């Protein structure tokens, strides 16, 4: 009975924390994006050199888009002349560095984990964006056209700050409603792990002493999790049971970077070779990031 009570308590507390966190961060980001000069941002991304990769990665990290928004924007960037490498940096950074993931890591695992995660993944996003362009992967984009260049012009930005704030919260609430099921699933599984999974078992197979725990976790994370909102609560529970922080990070990167809806839609605009390259990039980022976490 005590274990059941602790499990339910874990579920309620983590769900409440993540709900407040998601709504607060999503509202803030939506508000910031209303003030961000969209045309100037596109122009910066269209510039030559590695600067465009930096701008694209930063823009991707500020946009907690779902796949239905990320994919049209990706095509829109390519159609207006944004370099292929910069576009790839955006594609990879949007799921891996969005503010919700960083805020969750900060709240649940601490400042050090959140900062190191951001630095590792941001660096990988820049490096792999450049590498994908240099390797000639730009030829692996299908000839797909969309209307509107991926813009979302349905909502006009109101002039008053109060109205902007209300609209931002409405958008945040809509996003929250869309991921609520994934979040509850992740917290529910995490609560069961927290309450009932033997810590010795986790420590034996996924603890810091097992050098193969990180690549295995990265492989498991790719097909297992649908959203980062599902992966992070589960990873937190496993870490509390003895799983190494590196293996947890590998799980999160694999799960967040390979969200099933996004990969399905990417296959609609990219050829198999490029989709496979993105999968490899995310796997490599997960493994390298995991080992770095364990070392520090």
Q: What are the tokens at 96?
A: 């891996």
**pLDDT computed for residue 148 by the predictor:** 41
Rg (CA), the chain: 19
- The CB density around residue 14, as the number of other CB atoms within 10 Å, is 23
What are the beta bridge partners of residue 270?
141
**pLDDT computed for residue 20 by the predictor:** 84
**pLDDT computed for residue 151 by the predictor:** 42
- Please say whether the dihedral angle defined by the alpha carbons of residues 35, 40, 44 and 46, taken in this order, is positive or negative: positive
Nearest by Cα to 221 from 210, 230, 212: 230
* Structural domains in the chain (count): 1
Strands (E), the chain: none
Q: Give the predicted TM-score (pTM) of the model.
A: 0.71
C-alpha distance from residue 117 to each of 193, 219, 291 (Å): 24, 18, 12
State CA 150 to chain mean position distance: 20
**pLDDT computed for residue 36 by the predictor:** 67
Question: How far is it, in rounded angstroms, from Cα 112 to Cα 43?
Answer: 34
- The CB density around residue 16, as the number of other CB atoms within 10 Å, is 11
Question: How far is it, in rounded angstroms, from Cα 56 to Cα 36?
Answer: 14
Question: How far is it, in rounded angstroms, from Cα 178 to Cα 100?
Answer: 14
pLDDT tens digits in sequence order for the chain, 296 residues long: 667 888 888 888 888 887 887 788 778 877 877 776 666 666 676 666 788 888 888 888 876 555 555 666 777 777 777 888 888 998 888 888 878 788 878 877 788 888 999 999 999 999 999 999 899 888 888 765 544 444 444 457 788 888 888 988 988 888 777 768 767 877 787 678 777 766 666 667 667 778 788 888 888 776 555 566 667 777 778 888 888 888 888 888 887 777 666 677 778 788 889 888 888 888 899 899 889 988 87
- The range of the structural domain enclosing residue 52 comes to 2-295
Q: Specify whether the CB–CB gap between 213 and 206 falls below 8 A.
A: yes
């Amino acid at each position: 009975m005590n274990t059941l009570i602790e499990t339910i308590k874990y579920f309620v507390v983590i769900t409440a924390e993540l709900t407040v966190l998601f709504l607060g961060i999503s509202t803030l980001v939506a508000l910031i994006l209303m003030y961000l000069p969209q045309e100037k941002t596109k122009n910066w991304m269209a510039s030559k050199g590695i600067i465009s990769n930096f701008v694209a990665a930063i823009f991707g990290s500020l946009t907690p888009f779902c796949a239905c928004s990320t994919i049209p924007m990706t095509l829109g960037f390519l159609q207006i002349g944004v370099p292929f490498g910069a576009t790839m940096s955006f594609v990879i950074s949007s799921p891996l560095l969005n503010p919700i993931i960083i805020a969750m890591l900060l709240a649940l695992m601490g400042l050090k984990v959140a900062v190191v995660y951001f630095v590792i993944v941001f660096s990988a996003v820049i490096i792999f964006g450049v590498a994908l362009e240099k390797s000639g992967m730009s030829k692996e984009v299908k000839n797909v056209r969309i209307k509107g260049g991926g813009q979302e012009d349905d909502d006009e930005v109101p002039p008053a700050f109060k109205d902007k704030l209300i609209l931002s919260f409405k958008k945040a609430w809509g996003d929250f409603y869309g991921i609520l099921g994934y979040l509850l699933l992740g917290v529910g599984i995490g609560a069961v792990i927290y309450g009932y999974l033997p810590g010795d078992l986790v420590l034996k197979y996924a603890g810091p002493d097992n050098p193969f725990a990180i690549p295995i976790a990265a492989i498991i994370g790719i097909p297992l999790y649908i959203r980062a909102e599902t992966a992070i609560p589960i990873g937190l529970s496993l870490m509390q049971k003895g799983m190494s922080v590196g293996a947890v990070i590998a799980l999160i990167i694999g799960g967040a970077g390979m969200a099933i809806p996004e990969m399905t839609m990417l296959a609609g605009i990219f050829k198999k070779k490029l989709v496979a390259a993105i999968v490899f990039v995310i796997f490599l980022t997960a493994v390298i990031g995991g080992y770095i976490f364990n070392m520090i």
